[in-house]
Amino acid sequence: MHRSRRAKIVATLGPASSSQDMIRTLFTAGVDVFRMNFSHGSHADHAERFAAVRAVEQEFARPIGILADLQGPKLRVGRFADGPIVLAQGAAFRFDLDPALGTAQRVQLPHPEIFAALVPGAELLLDDGKLRVRVERCDAQSADVTVLVGGKLSERKGVNVPGVVLPISALTAKDRADLDTALKLGADWIALSFVQRPEDIHEARQLIQGRAGILAKLEKPAAIDRLEEIIAAADAIMVARGDLGVELPAEQVPAIQKRIVKLCRKLGKPVIVATQMLESMIESPVPTRAEASDVATAIYDGADAVMLSAESAAGKYPVEAVTMMNRIIEGTEADAQYRQLLDASHTAADSAATADATAAICCAMRRAATLLKAQAICCFTTSGHTSLRAARERPSAPILSLSPELQVARKLALAWGVHSVHAPNIVHAESLAPEACQVAREQGFAAPGGSIVILAGMPFGQSGTTNMLRIAVVE
């Protein structure tokens, strides 16, 4: 089976979608990559879901990607002696390291890193931004604040510190344990939360050692300040709009989303647009028209994938949510303006970051596929680089990616326009075109008499050697 669309669907597994039967249904409805949220569930729960996904993969003989999403640091206030308190606008309040139960005047904030980074005038956001306070005085042990936006504050509610780079690793002790489990289970992508700087990605890469791709979640304003460095350091990007919208004004998020997608396309890195895409479908069998438009906007911008979170993990209508997202993508890509917008927003590979031999071959491929009205573009790849570089060009024909490495084939399930196939390595040049034509026919992409464009590298089997473009007619 293959999808008729180019953009991909990432769906989160959870209590509403854990059984193998449900995972099979979600896959046939349109899911390309399954996300495991390590903020919830036990390692045993995730192991069962991994096994179920791999069983469905084997059943359909189609590589399926698995994304393990690490929780990252969670900054929270302590507990209160007498239950929730109410912070009135203009009132004074204190955060400190004292583990004593909180009162109406103070509460523990068990994160010395926050106090180390605070300065007078800085603001703290509480409970997903519902409450806002300003720092008046602070030291290494405490911070006296004035309430700017008041309300009820319960124990263990989250704290955000916008505009401040916190001296905290993106990987907690829990994350390291979760990472070890995810890698042992065979995750294809690791999503890194709380990324503030490219050094966070370098730290994770030392631990992962090439066993999975690194996907950086952009949810902190500090990350936006070093956006290009972070995208260059990561293997893929997620626009985590929910968390990003807590620390940034809501009106800035759409422009930042477009900026991230545009830069990812320029640098050839897969990008997922995530959070609240079909939020109402947690409780409703149909989305709002605004949500449908939101998904379509990400597709028009050329995002590689869109993601479902609670809609598929804990909602009442997980299958309907995936089906609806699939329909929105197909409808958007069928619009004549879709191709016009993709072509208009295409950037040439003229920078040092993107200009190499593979880039030159893929630029020629894009033009050849358009002129010949090619039925498919067949990429022979060992590392996945050729297929990702082909996807960067957003060609008019689908990209049929053939890799002898199963994990590479699974990782490429995330990339725009890529239909990934686990196939034996090519050994002899004379078998290149016949093999490409045969797979294109078998996978339903090409018919006799049609043209396909072939990308490969010689010597075969060596990563980073893309140097060949061939045109073949399917017999």
- Whether 37 maps to a domain, the answer reads yes
Q: Is 367 a catalytic residue?
A: no
Choose the catalytic residue: 24, 76, 157, 258: 76
The pLDDT of residue 2 is 86
- 134, β-bridge pairs: 123, 146
Please give the mean pLDDT across all residues of the chain. 94
- Mean pLDDT of the 141-163 span: 95
182 and 274 both lie in a single domain = yes
133 and 245 both lie in a single domain = no
**Residue type (1 letter), 299:** I
Q: Is 197 a catalytic residue?
A: no
146 and 212 both lie in a single domain = no
Give the residue from 160, 184, 202 where a domain finishes. 160
pLDDT reading at 314 higher than 80: yes
- Mean pLDDT of the 91-113 span: 96
- Residues 359, 160: Cα–Cα separation, whole Å: 41
Choose the catalytic residue: 217, 220, 265, 394: 217
Q: Is 275 a catalytic residue?
A: yes
In percent, how much of the chain has pLDDT > 90? 88
- 77-95 pLDDT per residue, tens: 999 999 999 999 999 999 9
356 or 173: which carries more pLDDT confidence? 173
Choose the catalytic residue: 275, 381, 386, 466: 275
The pLDDT of residue 243 is 86
- Mean pLDDT of the 364-392 span: 95
The pLDDT of residue 462 is 72
- Residues 266, 213: Cα–Cα separation, whole Å: 19
Residues whose CB is less than 8 angstroms from the CB of residue 304 and which lie 6 or more positions away in sequence, other chains included: 7, 8, 236, 264, 270, 271, 272, 391, 414, 415, 416
Specify the CATH number for the domain of residue 314: 3.20.20.60
- Residues 197, 222: Cα–Cα separation, whole Å: 7
User: What DSSP assignment string belongs to 376-429?
Assistant: EEEEE-SSSHHHHHHHHT--SSPEEEEES-HHHHHHGGGSTTEEEEE-PPP-SG
370 and 449 both lie in a single domain = yes
- Whether 165 maps to a domain, the answer reads no
42 and 101 both lie in a single domain = no
240 and 116 both lie in a single domain = no
Specify the CATH number for the domain of residue 416: 3.40.1380.20
Cis peptide bond upstream of 459, omega within 30: yes
- Mean pLDDT of the 22-26 span: 98
Strand pairing class (159-160; 151-153): unpaired
- 194-245 pLDDT per residue, tens: 999 999 999 999 999 999 999 999 999 999 999 999 999 999 999 999 888 8
323 and 219 both lie in a single domain = yes
pLDDT reading at 65 higher than 90: yes
Q: How confident is the model at residue 467 (pLDDT cuts 50, 70, 90)?
A: confident
400 and 451 both lie in a single domain = yes
Give the residue from 160, 193, 209 where a domain finishes. 160
Structure-token pair, residue 111: 């994160």
Residues whose CB is less than 8 angstroms from the CB of residue 315 and which lie 6 or more positions away in sequence, other chains included: 16, 281, 282, 283, 321
Choose the catalytic residue: 5, 6, 35, 410: 35
pLDDT reading at 141 higher than 70: yes
129 and 213 both lie in a single domain = no
Q: How confident is the model at residue 426 (pLDDT cuts 50, 70, 90)?
A: confident
CA 462 → CA 78, 291, 303, 435, 447, distances in Å? 54, 44, 29, 18, 30
The pLDDT of residue 162 is 87
- Mean pLDDT of the 128-153 span: 96
- Residues 1, 315: Cα–Cα separation, whole Å: 27
pLDDT reading at 181 higher than 60: yes
The answer to whether the CB of 451 falls within 8 A of the CB of 376 is no
In percent, how much of the chain has pLDDT > 70? 98
- Whether 17 maps to a domain, the answer reads yes
- Whether 225 maps to a domain, the answer reads yes
Q: Is 8 a catalytic residue?
A: no
pLDDT reading at 354 higher than 70: no
pLDDT reading at 351 higher than 60: no
- Whether 344 maps to a domain, the answer reads no
- Whether 79 maps to a domain, the answer reads no
Give the residue from 99, 128, 160 where a domain finishes. 160
376 and 467 both lie in a single domain = yes
- 34-61 pLDDT per residue, tens: 999 999 999 999 999 999 999 999 999 9
The pLDDT of residue 236 is 98
**Domain containing residue 395:** 357-473
267 and 194 both lie in a single domain = yes
Specify the CATH number for the domain of residue 125: 2.40.33.10
Number of structural domains found in the chain: 3
- 66, β-bridge pairs: 34
Residue listed under structure tokens 């344990």: 177
The pLDDT of residue 350 is 62
The pLDDT of residue 242 is 86
Residue 272: which region, alpha, beta or left (left: phi > 0; alpha: psi -120 to 50)?
Answer: beta
The answer to whether the CB of 393 falls within 8 A of the CB of 469 is no
**Residue type (1 letter), 428:** H
The pLDDT of residue 281 is 98
- Whether 240 maps to a domain, the answer reads yes
The answer to whether the CB of 285 falls within 8 A of the CB of 317 is yes
- Whether 3 maps to a domain, the answer reads no
- Mean pLDDT of the 101-116 span: 95
121 and 192 both lie in a single domain = no
